Amino acid sequence: MAYQVLARKWRPSNFTQLVGQEHVSQSLMHALQHDRLHHAYLFTGTRGVGKTTVARILAKAINCENLKDFNPCGECQVCRDFEQGRFMDLIEVDAASRTKVEDTRDLLDNAQYAPNQGRYKVYLIDEVHMLSGHSFNALLKTLEEPPPHVKFLLATTDPHKIPVTVLSRCLQFNLKRLLPEQIDTQMQFILGQEQIAFEPAALKMLGRAADGSLRDGLSLLDQAIVYGSGSVTTEAVIGMLGTVAQQPIDDILQALATGDAQALLAKIADVAELTPDFADILQQILRVLHRVALLQQMPDFVDHEFDKQLLDSLAKALLPEDVQLYYQIGLIGQRDLPLAPDPRSGFEMVMLRMLTFRPQAAEVQTLEPVKPPVVKPTASVSAPVTEARHIEEPRPISVSQTTKPGNWTEIIAALNISGRTRELANNCVLDGIDDSSCRLLLDPGFQQVGTKAEDNLRAALQNYYGKPLKLVIGKQAEQQMTPALEIQKAREDRQQAAVDSINTDENVQALKDTFGARIMPGSIEPLN
């Protein structure tokens, strides 16, 4: 007999054998269990995930004479005819080759006739998005109200091209891309049944290369068996796929972790002699960095794909923020790699960018906030300080007749005022205070905020000193240093300190010299 490829030989024949599509198989089995079958189903998903396979299993299940656990039995006459391609009530159409409206009308003309063998006549239309607009219009009425003995099963890789009028008449199931681990497990099962020797590392590489498609994975597995002369070895898969072994990747990551640019470039030069796919190398580095980030956040994390000793050493050598930075640079580099003059130089620049932008913890400078000047109170003002266990509350103090201007900034803080009242106080300086009045001088450039603010300030002063003080606000003859001006000056000093710190930072200077970087005006802000 002619050789049958693995993808066809091991195509699932019931819902239990489906890989990675439990959300679909379970829903369909429950529909069969409760006899709640829809008249039209739409299966969507990328290539090789089982859309047509699920549709064929469902067509067989709804016509099976003896369901077993709501799965096709595989033994009755209907199931045998299905498997041998002789079931007359399954009309399978490839929409890509029958796009004309005349083909659709001819197809639907026979829908009114009863089925020959089974309970239902099933129309399975593959790649349904290829139908023309007129074909969809011809299908609409029959799709909405088909005869009771007709079921429509549609499959497509591009549901966005299907009119919403058709989508609304179908029960839609989206089949997921398979994980590399699921493809790897299925390959191990198939090779065990076929009694073919294999190496687990080789199957892991094939599972990643399949890119979520089990059919593509089995096609690659067929190719690997032939390439390896009857067995699947890591060396044969590396040669077939043109990928680089894991050890050079490990060496590149170790050099990156130690910050050794010379060793990093030397290892890239060694890898370049094998004419590798540098985009694939960058993908492998991103996968390792992802596992390292998981391990740093979850120390109990276990990964069987990569060497545990490597992951542990990288997790200890790299800071979590470095791992995140490297991963982001790698993602952007993956996008820009095709734009580089050649793949090797583009890959080298991505790795050097990781080293260049790596933060240097020893060079981080801490900026201390500039404190406003403190005016010492005169000896004539007595303000006894009392110890408080939790919150120090202001106490009324005695005011003598000879009181001179004191620390107005601290008095404002003790008054516990806010809003326009505090704004008024901040724009004044204390001229004098005695038992009967408090005299303030207002900044001439400040616009008065109303009598309510003055009333609130007077009430706060009377409450603070415990005396019915009169508030007198006059104009300054010349501008003096008010609390508001002190705050503004402190803010400007902090801003200037932040700008000076950035301009003198060695990392910033290196970026300017190496990449021609420049600091955007207005983008520097103090930390506090």
CATH 2.40.50.1020 fits 180-241, yes or no: no
Residue 406: per-residue pLDDT = 55
% residues pLDDT > 70 (the chain): 89
Q: What is the pTM of this model?
A: 0.57
Determine the average pLDDT of the residues in 417-422. Answer: 86
Model confidence at 213, pLDDT cuts 50, 70, 90, reads very high
Pick the CATH number of 246-359 from 3.30.450.90, 1.20.272.10, 1.10.3720.10, 1.10.260.40: 1.20.272.10
**Residue 243: what pLDDT?**
63
- 103 has a pLDDT exceeding 60: yes
Mean pLDDT in the chain?
A: 83
Q: Say which range, 50-59, 172-181, 183-192, 478-487, has the weakest mean pLDDT.
A: 478-487
Q: How confident is the model at residue 479 (pLDDT cuts 50, 70, 90)?
A: confident
Structure-derived torsion over alpha carbons of residues 137, 143, 149, 154, reported in degrees to the nearest 10 = 100
First to last CA, the chain: 79
pLDDT at 380: 38
Q: Which structure tokens are listed for 114?
A: 């009863």
- Confidence band (pLDDT; 50, 70, 90) for 6? very high
State pLDDT tens for residues 108-135: 888 888 888 889 999 999 999 998 888 8
Check whether 378 has a pLDDT greater than 50.
no
pLDDT over 80 at 367, yes or no: no
Over residues 490-516, the pLDDT tens digits come to 888 888 888 888 888 888 888 888 887
The predicted structure's pLDDT at residue 360: 62
Q: In the prediction, which pLDDT does 190 show?
A: 94
Give the pair of three-digit tokens for residue 418: 């806010």
pLDDT of residue 391: 40
Q: Which residues is 439 bridged to in the sheet?
A: 432, 472
Whether 373 shows a pLDDT value over 80: the answer reads: no
Count CA within 13 A, CB hemisphere, residue 20.
22
pLDDT tens string 138-167 = 888 888 888 999 999 999 999 999 999 999
Q: Are strands 40-44 and 90-94 parallel, antiparallel or unpaired?
A: unpaired
Examine the pLDDT at 361 and tell me if it is beyond 70.
no
Record: fold of 6-174: Rossmann fold (3.40.50)
Angle (CA) 71-72-73 rounded to 5° is 105
Instruction: State both tokens at 506.
Output: 């060695």
Residue-wise pLDDT for 397-413, tens only, equals 444 433 434 588 888 88
CATH 1.10.8.60 domain locations along the chain? 180-241
Question: In which band, very low, low, confident or very high, does the pLDDT at 173 lie, cut at 50, 70 and 90?
Answer: very high
* Structural contact between residues 232 and 333, judged by C-beta atoms closer than 8 angstroms: no
Q: Which DSSP letter does residue 518 get? A: -
Distance between CA atoms of residues 187 and 183, nearest Å: 6
Q: Which residues contact 314 (CB under 8 A, 6 or more apart)?
A: 253, 254, 257, 288, 292
Q: Is the model's pLDDT at 387 over the cut of 50? A: no
| pLDDT higher than 90, residue 520 | no
Burial 342-365 (b: 16+ CB within 10 A, else e): ebbebbbbbbebbeebbeeeeeee
Residue 84 pLDDT > 80: yes
| pLDDT value of position 180 | 86
Mean pLDDT within 385-390: 40
Question: Where residue 449 falls among pLDDT bands split at 50, 70, 90?
Answer: low
Mean pLDDT calculated for residue range 337-358? 90
385 pLDDT above the threshold of 80? no
Give 240's pLDDT tier (boundaries 50, 70, 90).
confident
Q: Given a cut of 50, is residue 338 above it in pLDDT?
A: yes
Question: Contact at 8 Å (CB) between 488 and 370?
Answer: no
Domain with CATH 3.30.300.150 in the chain: 408-486
Query: Does pLDDT of 11 surpass 70?
Result: yes
What CATH number matches the domain at 408-486, 3.90.550.50, 3.30.470.10, 1.10.3720.10, 3.30.300.150?
A: 3.30.300.150
The two tokens of residue 309 are 């000793």
Instruction: Count Cα atoms within 13 angstroms, Cβ side, for 312.
Output: 6
Q: Which SS3 state, helix, strand or coil, does residue 431 take? A: strand
